[in-house]
A and B are shown apart, each in its own frame.
Chain A
Amino acid sequence: MRLLVIEDEGPLREQLVSHLTGAGFAVDAAADGEEGLYQGNEYPYDAAVVDLGLPKLSGIEVIRQWRAAGRHFPVLVLTARGRWQEKVEGLEAGADDYMVKPFSMEELMARLRALLRRSGGWTQSLLKCGPVTLDMTTQQVEVDGAPVELTAFEYKVLEYLMLHDGAVVSKADLTDHIYQQDFDRDSNVIEVFVGRLRRKLDPDNRYTPIETLRGRGYRFAIARDNPQ
């Protein structure tokens, strides 16, 4: 999951980046509205955290321009004032949720996960596809009820594929959504992660949860249990 954080206050921005990175997200940060707008338009983010009181271009304007340009990733806005007029304007501009400063990092994380689930069409934090279960809150993965140990990157790849189950996800997409901007795109590290995931999830080749579509990418092939 790749996130964009736009916050002008340096210390708060660093805290957000470090908390979110610690929680397993790939995080890019911008310090003002213009830079944030550019990044949001340029890279495929899964969600964004946007402060409303930004220099150069207000948060509301940033969101409005993203939406006008067809960028539909979920946006969580941070507001200092907490006046309803501000919240409503933010949500009308295209934001999906808001938090009033000073917020708690845990709640921010929970809200972000909820937004990401919703954007993948899931309503619960427990993603179940046949024998495979992924809990977005605890980041635990089980196959047939038995826990599977995954590294952080393996988890990210699986989470992304399961959130978009049934859809073809290209290698470039995965790279974009799992790594920050400075990642070396030519490496075949994604193939390595997918190979390891297959071995861990399906050592006996019974389910083949992840299909490879030659030249196009990967697909999580087991249908979700609670399609909504």
Chain B
Amino acid sequence: MMSLNSRVLLAATAVLIIFLGATGAVLDGAFRTSAEAAEHDRLQTQVYALLAAAEVQDDGSLRLPRALAEPRFTTPGSGLYARIVDAHGNSVWRSPSTVGVEVPFTSAAAAGKFHFQRMPAKGYFAMALEVVWESGRGTPTRYVFQVSENDASYRDQVGSFRRHLWGWLAGVAALLLLVQGLILRWGLAPLRRVADDLEQVRSGSAANLGGAYPKELEGLTGSINTFIASERAQRDRYRNSLSDLAHSLKTPLAVLRGALPENAGEAGAVDEQVDRIAQIVDYQLQRAATSGKPALATPVALRRSVERLTSSLTKVYAARGVVIETDIPDGLTFLGDEGDLLEVLGNVLDNACKWARARVHIAAARRDESLVVTVDDDGPGIAEERRDDVLRRGVRADEQVAGHGIGLAVVRDVLAAYGGRLEIGRADGLGGARVVLILPAS
């Protein structure tokens, strides 16, 4: 979809082009009209000057002085030309400037009336005036005074005006667009800030949209914050109610188990069933509690989580003296719920500590798009044919569970919720089991 920025800029540009185009056209028309009016006045003046200079002889013929007030009439090819014709259309006088030049003249419309004409094809302005003079003998004689001027200077003027006009209009348009762009940038800045803040919330570096926003956006940001808060509260509530459920299911089981008489015949069977119920409850609650990759996840520092677990496990396994070596580079993060990460790593590390003779090694690295965590121990290892069993344990409620622990089955399920997986193998260096956790990297 077209961005807000482009929409507004496009609309503004279109309006600007129409407005400035119309303005330019009107100004251009007005200038041409006024330039033509000036030309009209100039030619009229020349006609009056010729009229003033002309002398009618007693025989009715017309005479003009050799030197005229307007020097351009006497310079050949000057661009200003004049001719006087009699009633029969015969030329009685030509200005010396017409020598060697084919000049178009216009004819008069009515006696005493100026006739002005532009001849763009020929490149001339022309004017004619018909006058009637009484000669000394009383016979009226008709003459037509014709003046034509080359329109080069007019075209120069108009051309120069146009260049200036459109130049300025283009400049103004550019300036207005620039200002428009700046206004947009400033006006849309809060929206951009909301987007940035949302990105921060999504990537976990902020808890909610905390900035100050204009009041038009407050409704939106308020709703988003409410949504974020309710999503978190919902998750917490869910977790808490699962915790309550676990408590209320397993405490009676603990009582039941505690009440069993020691070494009585049926006690062993009951004890085993209590174990199974407890494991099923654990497993199903764990599945229900696994959130999977949430939309608003906080990146969890892998190293920090591993350190929390190793210091806890070192305490628990203090009597056995198991040493946990870690090799986790800084900066590796898991994008998801910290509880889920602790669950996965805790189960795997606990298993390793349980089986290890003295050493457990945990390493992590980023491989392509995955976060790979490797946990090795120096215990007896897991035989190849038993590896599948270990993972399947406790998966089905009606299955007979052999031995203890649903740990790795839980790990596998949590990983699956994140699109990761689990591999079991043999530890190269330590000789015991190797569990490899593959998680999609953030």
Could you tell me which A residues sit within 8 Å of B by CB distance? 9, 11-12, 15-16, 19, 53, 78, 80-88, 91-92, 96-98, 100-105, 114, 118, 123
Contact = CB atoms under 8 A, between A and B. Distances in A.
Contacts of A53: 243-244, 247
Interface stretch (B47-55, B93-101, B337-345, B363-371): B337-345
A86 B209 CA distance: 30
A97 B316 contact: yes
B315 A83 contact: no
Interface stretch (B223-231, B249-257, B384-392): B249-257
Interface stretch (B32-40, B125-133, B214-222, B282-290): B282-290
A91 B311 CA distance: 9
A81 B315 contact: no
Contacts of B339: 83-85
The DSSP consensus for interface residues of chain B is: helix
15 contacts: A11-B255, A80-B249, A80-B251, A85-B342, A87-B312, A88-B309, A88-B342, A100-B250, A102-B254, A102-B257, A102-B274, A103-B254, A105-B257, A114-B319, A123-B319
A195 B339 CA distance: 55
| Minimum-distance CB pairs A-B, first 10 | A84-B346, A15-B258, A102-B254, A102-B253, A80-B247, A91-B312, A101-B254, A101-B250, A85-B339, A84-B342
A83 B347 CA distance: 9
Contacts of A123: 319
Contacts of A87: 312, 346
Given A84-B347, A102-B255, 16 more contacts: A9-B254, A12-B255, A16-B258, A80-B246, A80-B247, A81-B246, A84-B343, A85-B339, A85-B343, A96-B316, A97-B315, A101-B278, A102-B253, A102-B258, A105-B257, A118-B318
B360 to A, nearest CB: 16
B155 interface: no
A96 B314 CA distance: 10
B308 interface: yes
Interface string B17-48: 00000000000000000000000000000000
B67 interface: no
A12 B271 CA distance: 16
Contacts of B309: 84, 88
Contacts of A91: 311-312, 315-316
Given A82-B246, A88-B346, A91-B315, A12 B308 contact: no
Contacts of A86: 243
A88 B344 CA distance: 13
B282 A82 contact: yes
B11 interface: no
Nearest to A81: B246
B402 interface: no
Interface centre among A53, A86, A88, A103 (most CB of B within 10 A): A88
Nearest to B247: A80
B289 A15 contact: no
B259 interface: yes
B324 to A, nearest CB: 14
A83 B343 contact: yes
Interface centre among A12, A81, A97, A118 (most CB of B within 10 A): A81
Contact of A83 (B253, B257, B271, B286): B286
Contacts of B247: 53, 80-81
B255 A118 contact: no
A11 B258 CA distance: 9
Contacts of B271: 104
Contacts of A19: 258
Contacts of B316: 91, 96-98
A14 to B, nearest CB: 9
Interface centre among A12, A53, A101 (most CB of B within 10 A): A101
A96 B312 CA distance: 8
Interface string B285-312: 1100100000000000000000011011
A214 B56 CA distance: 165
Nearest to B317: A97
A19 B258 CA distance: 9
Interface in B321-361: 338-339, 342-343, 345-347
Given A88-B309, A92-B312, A83 B318 contact: no
B319 A9 contact: no
Contacts of A101: 250-251, 253-254, 278
A83 B308 contact: no
A92 B311 CA distance: 8
